[in-house]
Amino acid sequence: MKAHTFYHWFNTRKKREFLRITDMVEEQVRNSGISDGFCLVSAMHITAGVYVNDAESGLLADIDEWLEKLAPTGLDYRHHRTGESNGDAHLKNLLIGHEVILPITDSRLDLGPWQQVYYAEFDGRRRKRLIIKIIGE
C-alpha cells in the first residue's frame, strides 16, 4: 500500500467561483505511481467545496443559481453576529459537500464520460487550500 499527498493553494479572483480541477487531480494520480486505489479530493476550508459533475456552462450557472436560492448572500445569518459576513458560504458548503472520493484504475481516474472534478469557492479572494490524497497499490 502506497500513499501520495499533494496540497494546492487557491486565491480566487471572485467571491464565488467554480474551478475545474480534473487535470490537476489526474496529474497527481500520475505522480503518485498508484495504479489501483482511491483519490480523496477535499477543500480544507469550511466555505469551499469539491464536487463531480458535467463541465457544461449552462449547468455551472444553474448550480450557482440553485445554491444562491437555497443560501442567499446578504441575509442576516446568526453567524454574522460573530463578526463574520459569510454565513451563506458555510451553508453552500453543506449543500455541495467538502470532498469527493474517486476510483483509480490502471493508473488513471476512473470517471464516467462527462464527469469532471470541481473546486467550488463560496468566500474567495483570499488564500485557501485543497488536499489530494491518493492511496492504493
Question: pTM of this prediction?
Answer: 0.95
For residue 59, what are the domain limits?
A: 2-136
pLDDT of 10 reads 87
- CATH number of the domain bearing residue 108: 2.60.120.460
pLDDT of 40 reads 98
CB 39 within 8 A of CB 25: yes
Q: Per residue of the chain (137 residues), what is the pLDDT tens digit? A: 999 999 999 899 999 999 999 999 999 999 999 999 999 999 999 999 999 999 999 999 999 999 999 999 999 999 999 999 999 999 999 999 999 999 999 999 999 999 999 999 999 999 999 999 999 99
CB 131 within 8 A of CB 9: no
In total, how many domains does the chain have? 1
Q: In this structure, are strands 116-121 and 48-53 parallel, antiparallel, or unpaired?
A: antiparallel
